[in-house]
C-alpha cells in the first residue's frame, strides 16, 4: 500500500521543508511550539499522522538540549499517532563532538542520544557533515551527507578568487578540504591542531616551507563554535602574508560574539549552509536533501 509522505518542521526550518515538500508533492505539517518560562517545550502537531511516512526536519543547535527534547517529542508524537515510518533529517547534530572519552570518567554522550533515538523507534536518521561519521553506530538506518560540493560550488561561482588555497585547520578535516579543492581545481594545506583535553584550549601550527604570500585562502571546517580554531588558524596564515581569508563551514554555531571576533580578526567573509539558519547561511541545503530523498526514497520510507 502506498502511504502519504508528510514533512514535519518548526517555523525556523520551513524554507527547506517547503522546498522538499514541493518536490515530493508532500504535505507540510507545521508544529505549534510553546516554550514556557521555565524552559520546557510543548509541541502540538494537530494533524492526522496515522499511516503516514513522516519526515521530521529539525536541527539540534543551541540550545542543544532543548532542540533535542523537541526532536524526541516530535518522533514520539508520530509514533503515538500511528505513523507508518519516521525519518529524521537532523542537519546539525548536537553532541557529535562528544564521540570519545577524552579523559577518564567522561560519558560518550552521542551514544546516549543514539540509545534514545533507538528507544523512540526512529527508522532513519539523515544528517550532514557530522563531526565523526563513525560515531553514528546506532541501531537504525543512518546516513551522513556532505555539503562540501554545495559550499565549493558557491565559492567557485560567487567568490572572486585568485589562485585560492583551501586550508583545513586540522588533519581530521583534510578529507573535506581535499573534496572542496578538487571542485575548485586547486591545492590544499592542513594545519596541525591540538586541543588541551582539560581546558579545551586550541593550538595550531603550519609547516614552515609553504609559500602562501598573496594567496586567497578558504578555510574549510565542519563547524565554527567559539571561533578559536579559525582565529588561531588565521593568525598563522596572516603571518605568511596571505591575501583574503574566507571561512566556509557547514554548521555556523557562532556562539555569542564569535562572528564579530572573526571579523575583527580580519576574516573577509564567513559563509555557511543553512543547517542552522542565521545571517551567514548563504548555501541552501534543500537540494542536498531533495537529491538524497528522491534517489533513495526506498530507504527513507523503509521500516
Cell of 296: 533513495
Nearer to ligand R5P, 62 or 172 (CB): 172
Select the residue interacting with ligand R5P from 94, 114, 164, 173 (CB under 6 A): 173
Q: Is residue 99 a contact residue for ligand R5P (CB under 6 A)? A: no
Select the residue interacting with ligand R5P from 229, 250, 272, 274 (CB under 6 A): 229
Q: Is residue 223 a contact residue for ligand R5P (CB under 6 A)? A: yes
Cell of 208: 614552515
Least Cβ distance, residue 208 to ligand R5P (angstroms): 23
Select the residue interacting with ligand R5P from 41, 66, 226, 278 (CB under 6 A): 226
Q: At 130, is the secondary structure helix, strand, or coil? A: coil
Q: At 63, is the secondary structure helix, strand, or coil? A: coil
Q: Is residue 94 a contact residue for ligand R5P (CB under 6 A)? A: no
Cell of 91: 542537519
Nearest to 104 by CA among 197, 196, 193: 197
How far apart are alpha carbons 101 and 93 in whole angstroms? 18
Nearer to ligand R5P, 256 or 291 (CB): 256
Cell of 27: 504535505
Nearer to ligand R5P, 75 or 128 (CB): 128
Cell of 254: 557562532
Least Cβ distance, residue 169 to ligand R5P (angstroms): 5
Select the residue interacting with ligand R5P from 224, 237, 270, 301 (CB under 6 A): 224
Helices 64-80 and 109-119, packing angle to 10 deg: 20
How far apart are alpha carbons 215 and 229 in whole angstroms? 20
Question: Hey, which residues between 198 and 217 contact ligand R5P (CB under 6 A)?
Answer: 202
Q: Interacting stretch for ligand R5P, rule CB under 6 A, among 27-35, 169-177, 209-217, 289-297?
A: 169-177
How far apart are alpha carbons 94 and 113 in whole angstroms? 9
Select the residue interacting with ligand R5P from 99, 129, 216, 222 (CB under 6 A): 222
What is the distance in angstroms between the CA of the first residue and the CA of the last residue of the chain? 14
Select the residue interacting with ligand R5P from 88, 166, 221, 288 (CB under 6 A): 221
Nearer to ligand R5P, 170 or 216 (CB): 170
Pairing of strands 217-224, 202-205: unpaired
Least Cβ distance, residue 59 to ligand R5P (angstroms): 16
Q: Which residues touch 260 (CB under 8 Å, ≥6 apart)?
A: none
- Give me the residues that bind ligand R5P (CB under 6 A), please: 97, 169-170, 172-173, 202, 221-229
Amino acid at each position: 500500500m502506498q502511504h502519504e509522505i508528510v514533512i514535519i518542521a518548526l517555523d525556523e526550518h520551513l524554507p527547506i521543508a517547503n522546498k522538499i515538500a514541493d518536490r515530493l508533492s508532500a504535505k507540510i505539517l507545521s508544529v505549534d511550539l510553546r516554550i514556557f518560562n521555565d524552559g520546557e517545550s510543548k509541541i502540538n502537531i494537530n494533524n492526522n499522522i496515522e499511516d503516514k511516512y513522516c519526515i521530521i526536519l529539525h536541527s539540534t543547535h543551541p540550545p542543544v538540549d532543548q532542540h533535542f527534547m523537541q526532536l524526541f517529542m516530535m518522533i514520539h508524537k508520530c509514533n503515538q499517532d500511528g505513523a507508518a515510518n519516521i525519518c529524521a533529517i537532523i542537519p546539525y547534530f548536537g553532541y557529535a563532538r562528544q564521540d570519545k572519552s577524552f579523559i577518564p570518567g567522561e560519558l560518550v554522550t552521542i551514544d546516549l542520544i543514539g540509545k534514545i533515538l533507538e528507544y523512540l523507534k526512529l527508522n532513519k536518521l539523515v544528517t550532514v557533515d557530522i563531526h565523526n561519521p563513525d560515531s553514528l553506530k546506532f541501531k537504525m538506518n543512518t546516513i551522513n551527507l556532505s555539503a562540501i560540493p554545495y559550499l565549493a560550488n558557491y565559492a567557485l561561482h560567487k567568490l572572486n578568487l585568485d589562485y585560492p588555497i583551501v586550508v583545513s585547520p586540522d588533519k581530521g578535516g583534510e578529507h573535506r578540504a581535499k573534496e572542496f579543492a578538487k571542485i575548485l581545481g586547486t591545492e590544499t594545506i592542513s594545519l596541525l591542531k591540538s586541543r588541551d583535553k582539560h581546558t579545551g584550549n586550541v593550538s595550531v601550527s603550519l609547516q614552515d616551507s609553504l609559500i602562501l604570500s598573496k594567496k586567497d585562502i578558504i578555510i574549510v571546517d565542519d563547524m565554527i563554535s567559539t571561533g578559536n580554531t579559525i582565529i588561531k588558524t588565521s593568525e598563522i596564515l596572516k603571518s605568511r602574508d596571505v591575501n583574503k581569508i574566507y571561512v566556509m563551514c557547514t554548521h555556523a554555531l557562532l556562539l555569542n560574539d564569535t562572528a564579530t571576533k572573526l571579523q575583527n580578526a580580519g576574516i573577509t567573509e564567513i559563509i555557511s549552509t543553512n543547517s542552522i539558519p542565521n545571517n551567514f547561511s548563504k548555501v541552501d541545503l534543500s537540494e542536498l536533501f531533495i537529491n538524497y530523498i528522491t534517489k533513495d526514497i526506498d530507504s527513507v520510507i523503509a521500516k
